[in-house]
Amino acid sequence: MTAPGRNGASSTIRQRRRDPADSNDGSTSMAKTLVKTTQDGRKVEVIGLAICLEGELEAFELVEVKLHPNRRKIWEAAPDATHMAGRITLTKDEAAIVEGAFAAAQADILANPAAINERFRIAAMWKAREQGIE
């Protein structure tokens, strides 16, 4: 995408949001699993290890409503909700779909040598930070 710079000359601007399906090698082989469609028609999907609303990251984990600090308000708005994924309420069946998709994505990641190397790299980086090396 080109846009005018401060002095009027055009410069190349690279604007790209990080897609949870992207991997370091540039491939987007992560499977999308449809969990549900919201009342206003937006899709809730699991992409890799992320729960997305219309392709935008919403959460990386499920929280049981009974453990949520705002559980009373959640149950008032959605009495059948058992889990939360960010701002999204999920029923027991929908949460099971998410957990199944997470398990499948985890298995795919563990089978990918590049993903294993990335996990080791991140672990080493965190270990170095703990020791004060940055």
The pLDDT tens digits of the residues spanning 74-118 come to 999 999 999 999 999 999 999 999 999 999 988 988 888 888 888
Domain ranges in the chain are 19-129
**Taking the CA of residue 98 as centre, how many other CA atoms within 13 Å lie in the half-sphere pointing to its CB?**
28
50 DSSP β-pair partners: 47
Quickly state the pLDDT bin for 29 (edges 50, 70, 90).
Answer: low
CB neighbours (10 Å) of residue 134? 6
Phi, psi angle pair for 83, to nearest 5°:
-140, 160
Phi, psi angle pair for 21, to nearest 5°:
-80, -15
Q: Under 8 Å CB-to-CB from 111, ≥6 apart: which residues? A: none
What's residue 121's pLDDT? 87
**Residues 42-86 pLDDT 10s:** 999 999 889 999 999 999 999 999 999 999 999 999 999 999 999
**Residues 121-131 pLDDT 10s:** 888 988 888 88
pTM score: 0.66
